[in-house]
Amino acid sequence: MNIDWATALPVIFLGLMGLAMLIYVVLDGYDLGVGLLLHRASDAQKDTMIASIGPFWDANETWLVLGVGILLIAFPQAHGMVLTALYLPVALMLIGLILRGVAFDFRVKAQDSHKPTWNRVFFAGSGLASLSQGWMLGRYITGFAQGLPYEAFAAVIALLLPAAYVLLGAGWLIMKTEGALQQAAVGWAKTAWPPVVLGMGLISLATPWVSVTVRERWFSMPAFIALLPIPLTTLAALVGLRVVLNSRAVLGKLCWMPLMLMVAVFLLGAVGLAYSLFPYVVIDRLTVWQAASATESLAVIAIGCAVTVPAILAYTVFSYRVFRGKARELTYA
């Protein structure tokens, strides 16, 4: 069978962009969550928390650059539409990420009396970036529709995503730390669990209400039956997460499980979102084929992606393998 590249290439790039954004949300999500938890820890614990994300946090943002880059070069019409609608939250997110980077480096060189200030800046940058990302996701799901219900929907997601990041970050700390900090992380995860579950439930109810397209996708037969395993499995992962947090084994051989269960929740959410939106790049406004660059341009771009994406993926796997195990005392060469 002959492959129609004009049809296939835009879908391939959409999948690649979605994969890059999912990896970013998971990887940068946990270190944003660690930043949001920083104010709850003692000074010594703060150093250990920073040490746990030190080898990874900057490289994690590479996936954001990749995802936005694909949006720009593969779907230029969608890029213009999205960035026009989200100019302010994108700017605020970048400010938050810059504040994190500055604080991460300057807290190393700061005198003891100034280090709390840079800790607060790191926390503020993490919060600003997380809230901005939540708002952008909420506006994107509704196709940037105007009106109070849509703004309220985006505001709810803007609060839910940081809570989910906190739960993800707490899971990271449970896996990467020991002793009092690990026990504290279990407590932080238990505190974050109820608002995450409540928020996800409310959003699951609100999403088909604010989007006719999503409502038709979710509640038409037999699509409803095919989609049902996603929310059920998500609920099972969240319940399993709570059960693990209540177990003493979470401080030992099951220390990896809270993080993995939260990753599963994000993955299932991404699958549900992809199902709800496809074939749109901007829901109800631009399909993947309408927004795509020329087939010839995509073919050239594909060559570059075939080199860069495996290289980024290989480096990511390599770095996490090299720095596996428990975080140690923070030191700088």
pLDDT digits (tens), the chain, 333 positions: 456 777 888 999 999 999 999 999 999 999 999 999 998 888 888 888 988 888 888 788 889 888 888 888 888 888 888 888 899 999 999 999 999 988 888 877 766 677 888 889 999 999 999 999 999 988 888 888 888 888 888 888 898 889 999 999 999 999 999 889 999 999 999 999 998 888 888 777 777 777 777 777 777 777 778 788 888 899 999 999 999 999 999 998 899 999 999 999 999 988 888 888 888 888 878 889 988 888 888 888 888 889 989 999 999 899 888 888 887 765 555
Q: Virtual CA dihedral for 41, 43, 45, 50, nearest 10 degrees?
A: 100
Contact 266, 26 (CB under 8 A): yes
Contact 130, 165 (CB under 8 A): yes
The Cα 319–Cα 126 span in angstroms is 22
Contact 150, 210 (CB under 8 A): yes
**Would residue 147 be called left, alpha or beta, if left means φ above 0 and alpha means ψ between -120 and 50 degrees?**
left
What does DSSP assign to residue 278? T
Return the CATH class of domain 9-322.
mainly alpha
- Domain ranges across the chain: 9-322
Please work out, in degrees rounded to the nearest 5, the angle formed at the alpha carbon of residue 97 by the alpha carbons of 94 and 100. 150
What's the token pair of residue 27?
Answer: 């990887």
The Cα 31–Cα 329 span in angstroms is 17
Position 329 scores a pLDDT of: 64
The Cα 39–Cα 48 span in angstroms is 13
The Cα 47–Cα 31 span in angstroms is 14
Whether this prediction's pTM lies above 0.85 is answered by: yes
Position 286 scores a pLDDT of: 85
The residue with tokens 């920083």 is 38
Please work out, in degrees rounded to the nearest 5, the angle formed at the alpha carbon of residue 114 by the alpha carbons of 113 and 117. 125
